Amino acid sequence: MDISDWRRKIDDVDRRMAALLNERASAVIEIGRLKRNSCMPIYEPDREKDVIANVQRNSAGPLRDLDLAKIYERLLDVMRSIQGHEMGADSASSGRETELDSRMED
């Protein structure tokens, strides 16, 4: 395969990943509704640790555990923000701003 073949493969993987991320976001919205109705907090650090550990445990590589943790920390930040929007602006802030958040506000 040449570089254009590999890029087409990456484009296909990206399309599938986007579909899965949107599926995940839909589930997060539903969980946000349940949390709102049960007065549960958005940020649950133990659950987030479990999510990352599960991904690391089930990864066949070549991504290292540290790489997966970095990716999932950002993913969970975004998903937490989605839940915050679902639950209302006052509870949306988790008190954790990332470097990307600060760049987006500039």
- Nearest by Cα to 21 from 81, 92, 74, 79: 79
pLDDT tens by residue, 68-91: 999 999 999 999 999 988 777 444
For the chain, list the domains and their CATH numbers.
3-105 (1.20.59.10)
pLDDT of amino acid 93: 42
CB 69 within 8 A of CB 56: yes
10 Å CB burial of residue 15 (0-12, 13-18, 19+) is: exposed
Q: Which stretches of the chain score pLDDT less than 50?
A: 89-96, 102-106
Quote the radius of gyration of the chain (alpha carbons, Å): 16
pLDDT of amino acid 90: 44
Task: Give the predicted TM-score (pTM) of the model.
Answer: 0.77
Phi–psi pair at 104, nearest 5 degrees: -70, -25
